[in-house]
Amino acid sequence: MTEQSSALTRRQLIARTAAAGIAVSVAGSVEALYSAQPALGTSGPKVGYGPLVPDPDGMLDLPHGFKYKIVSREGELRPDGLKSASRFDGMGVFPDKHGGARLVRNHECNLTARNPLKAPPERTYDPGTVGGTSTIVVDRHNQPLDEYTSLGGTAVNCSGGPTPWRTWLTCEETERRKGDAGYTKDHGYIFEVDPYDNRRNVDPTPLTAMGRFQHEAVALDPATGIVYETEDAFVAPLGGFYRFLPERPCGGWGSLRAGGELQAMHVPGLLDMSTVQEAGAVFHDVQWVKVPDPLATTVSVRAQEYKKPITGGYKLEGCWWGKLDRCVYFVSSFARTELGPKQNHDGQVWRYDPRRKTLTLEVIFTRPEPNDNPLYDAPDNITMSPYGGLMMCEDGTGDQHILGTTEDGEVFKFAKNRVNIGTPEEPEFGELAGAGFSADGRTMFFNVYNPGITYAITGPWRRRR
């Protein structure tokens, strides 16, 4: 698309959203958003899937024709007799040989969790904490067959990302050290989890060369093996966007333990991503600088001295690899000037093109008034729909949705969480997380964070409106 037609698309979109009272701007290069993932024989939704139908059971509102099944709930007894742990967050979806799926689900637990994750000693990294992952096996009808702990003794497992060899990289969103809060080891690492063979998950090993910081999510380039990493930093300085150059790229299970080099992104002329307020803005000559101390032995990774200043963003969260355009997408969930960023926004989705070395702001949820109540805000986990478009999980104020983008670049509601429960100790009101599609595209799985619920959604995905 030419720059002239891109600008026209943006103007048309902004006019439509402004008329509807929605402060959203999407870049003109919607082809990239729409076609980054292979389509399943369809051109996808033109205007979304229609209005949401209120759920008589008060659980989840979906468009007409779509149905949900609850796969797992926090506190329920698993087949092994243990309770499902709290705080369902990021999740990987993997095909099962019998036509179903295997889900590796993060539990963002620390010692305050209502239902801590329990693991046998051989699958426990640090007995002083209670986070980790559980693996769920469902059949082709999304009926749960099994659920078990695949990693224990980690802390605040937020999101992660799949590898081309079908394992899950789970990320700790913490920088706690040995001795803090009863921890017996340092934390802030990435761990690899095998969804098929739980014997491989014994003796959990942190991937230390990939850095020790407040990890959120990762995306792996299957052609080069480079791993891109987001940092969900919510105290100054701003978090960085990183890449890891492995010694054994795409080497299969355990290959990332061989080490490599961690680098941070430097964008000339851009120190704070919040200052970019127009969708479609492009930055060229993106560079990468070596992280001096990936283990952050004395100073956090984002605060270290670099040869060039690294580009920062507030709450860098979801991360996804676009298979067709061969670009990586990542999210800045929101920004508030009182927290460090220079400008306010309610969410950004960025695209980095490794071949062209460009960084593009694809989506921005603008915030024209400091105290407004936005219709959409705070995108977190993201995934690409196999039918085209970006699917985003909200983690913001008010109602929480799964949002999608249409072929024309509009943002639409796909699901609304109706279960809003919180306490002073756990104030999260229904954050949505972990969205991902089954290999055949029939089912989208995702989580409600609190109280923990894992859903399987089926319906007329090929419907154009």
Domain for residue 67, yes or no?
yes
Cis peptide before 237 (omega within 30 of 0): yes
Taking a C-beta distance cutoff of 8 angstroms, is the pair 111, 181 a contact? yes
What total of structural domains would you count in the chain? 1
Domain for residue 463, yes or no?
no
Taking a C-beta distance cutoff of 8 angstroms, is the pair 120, 167 a contact? no
- Report residue 465's pLDDT band, with 50, 70 and 90 as the boundaries: low
With b meaning 16 or more CB within 10 Å and e meaning fewer, what string describes 223-232? eebbbbbbbb
What percent of the chain clears pLDDT 70, i.e. is strictly above it?
84
Taking a C-beta distance cutoff of 8 angstroms, is the pair 315, 233 a contact? yes
Average pLDDT over all residues of the chain:
87
pLDDT value for 42: 46
Domain for residue 115, yes or no?
yes
pLDDT in tens, 418-456: 987 544 445 556 789 999 999 999 999 999 999 999 999
Taking a C-beta distance cutoff of 8 angstroms, is the pair 29, 362 a contact? yes
DSSP letter string over 32-79?
Answer: HHHHSS--SSS---SBTB-PEEPPTTSSEEEETT-EEEEEEETTPBPT
The domain that holds 317 is classified in CATH as 2.120.10.30
Q: Which of 293, 296, 362, 272 is nearest to 325 (CA)?
A: 362
Domain for residue 377, yes or no?
yes
Both tokens assigned to 50 = 């229609």
Q: Classify residue 333 by burial, with Cβ atoms within 10 Å: 0-12, 13-18, 19+.
A: buried
* Strands 312-313 vs 316-322: parallel, antiparallel or unpaired: unpaired
The residue type of 179 is G
What does the H/E/C string look like for 373-417?
A: CCCCCCEEEEEECCCCCEEEEECCCCCCEEEEECCCCCEEEEEEE
Q: Which of 456, 279, 286, 280 is nearest to 358 (CA)?
A: 286
Domain for residue 244, yes or no?
yes
Domain for residue 279, yes or no?
yes
Domain for residue 91, yes or no?
yes
pTM: 0.91
Instruction: Give the number of other CB atoms < 10 A from CB of residue 353.
Output: 17
Q: Within a 13 Å sphere around the CA of 327, how many CA atoms are in the beta-carbon half?
A: 22
Read off the pLDDT of each residue in 316-345 and give the average, rounded to a whole number: 91
pLDDT value for 48: 84
What region, left, alpha or beta, does residue 32 occupy, with left being phi > 0 and alpha being psi -120 to 50 degrees?
Answer: alpha
Question: In a 3-state reduction of DSSP, which class is residue 15?
Answer: helix
19 vs 173, more confident: 173
Both tokens assigned to 209 = 């060369």
* CA–CA separation, 171 and 158 (whole Å): 6
- Residue in the structure block whose two tokens are 């958003």: 33
Question: In a 3-state reduction of DSSP, which class is residue 273?
Answer: helix
Q: Judge whether residue 89 has pLDDT over 90.
A: yes
Cis peptide before 56 (omega within 30 of 0): no
- Report residue 17's pLDDT band, with 50, 70 and 90 as the boundaries: very low
Domain for residue 465, yes or no?
no
358 vs 347, more confident: 358
Q: Which of 302, 239, 280 is nearest to 32 (CA)?
A: 280
What is the residue range of 127's domain? Answer: 3-458
